[in-house]
Amino acid sequence: MLKFIFKRLFYGFLVIFGVLIVVFFIFHALPGDPVAMMVGQRSDVATREVIEKELGLNKPLPTQLAHYLNDVSIISLHENTDENKTRYRYTSLVNVGNNTLVIKAPYLRRSFQTNKRVDEIIFEHMEGTFWLAIAAMIFATVFGIVFGIFCALKQNTFIDHSLIIVSILGISVPSFVAAILVIWLFAVLLSDYTGLNATGQLWDTDPMTGETYLVLKNLILPAFTLGLRPLSIIVQLTRSSMLEVLTQDYIRTARAKGLKYYAIIVKHALKNALNPVITAVSGWLASLMAGAFFIEWVFNWKGLGLVAIKSVESLDFPVVMGCTLFIAMVFVFVNIVVDILYATIDPRVRLD
């Protein structure tokens, strides 16, 4: 088990490293001048040169990459100055001449646009994405399983067919189209009845006291929209796996024993039918954490996707890179967890 985890962590590290290199070069291959985006329409030579120097944009690309890697790396080499100390927040290990070998948390630099530390930006925006993904997943799983069982039990009836058709629609409608429809319907046309906002955050601020308070209702529409696709998939998965299980011999045995209908469905059939569903759900979670870009954009939901899209527009390299690395990390981590989970649930799967 431990050996497996270490092996996967090592592969994960390689994946993240690869992502870093690819994103770095793609980003720098894009035409566009980040300094021009920072200074605005009017500037002078001096200002531009100062900024270029500060950001290291005047150096050749390989040097820039090396510097970035050094900044991100946990163990790195820096000049031992007070300025660097406050910037990197490191602990010195060994002094090498003027430089010092240090251990530190990855330094993701500061945003070009706002000058805010990127780790702070990610930390601030992570929460929104996280709760949105969780809420969407819970919604999709609960309703998906319920509808799936329902369809399986009423196989080939009108309800079964219509639910399947609706779920195909749910899989194929692009998320931003669904988002706009949902907003138009629930937050504009029916807003007087639903009381829901077209946009809004999980936390709202009381202007006079500055206190923040939870507004859960703002989570409903984005989570619903984000959950539509997984919901549809879970309905179909549950339905087919349930149908398969229901034809098994042990179900017939249970019936023959005279067990109650619900006991057969819930205790015997469902338990076995859920295996593929659970692995699918946990696999989806990672992509929901990363894939809510459109939903976050349309609902203006404060999350990683929203901030990443905005930063691409303004060529804010550190933020784009930071978000990408973070999402890659989430993916690697969740995938390892899913593999372990898979092995735990289904004894036929071995980790090695």
Binding mask 167-206 for another protein (x = CB under 8 A): ----------------x---xx--x-----xxx-x-xxxx
Q: Is 347 in the site for another protein (CB under 8 A)?
A: no
User: Contact with another protein (CB under 8 A): which of 60, 207, 258, 347?
Assistant: 207
178 strand-pairing partners: none
Shortest Cβ 335–another protein spacing (Å): 29
User: Contact with another protein (CB under 8 A): which of 29, 44, 156, 172?
Assistant: 44
180/173 Cα distance (integer angstroms):
11
102 strand-pairing partners: 76, 92
Tokens of 228: 């539509």
Q: Is 125 in the site for another protein (CB under 8 A)?
A: yes
Q: Is 98 in the site for another protein (CB under 8 A)?
A: no
In angstroms, the first-to-last Cα distance of the chain is: 8
Shortest Cβ 271–another protein spacing (Å): 14
Nearest to 323 by CA among 299, 300, 301, 306: 306
Q: Rounded to whole angstroms, what are the CA distances from 15 to 21, 166, 177, 256?
A: 10, 37, 32, 53
Judge contact between 179 and 299, C-beta under 8 A: yes
Identify residues 142-161 at the interface with another protein (CB under 8 A): 142, 146
Binding residues for another protein, rule CB under 8 A, total 66
206 or 352: CB nearest another protein: 206
Identify residues 212-241 at the interface with another protein (CB under 8 A): 212-217, 220
3-state helix, strand, coil in the chain (%, to 5): 70, 5, 20
Question: Rg of the Cα trace of the chain?
Answer: 25
What residues line the site for another protein (CB under 8 A)? 30-34, 36-48, 50-51, 54, 110, 113-116, 121, 124-125, 142, 146, 183, 187-188, 191, 197-199, 201, 203-208, 210-217, 220, 262, 266, 297-298, 300, 302, 306-307, 310, 313-315
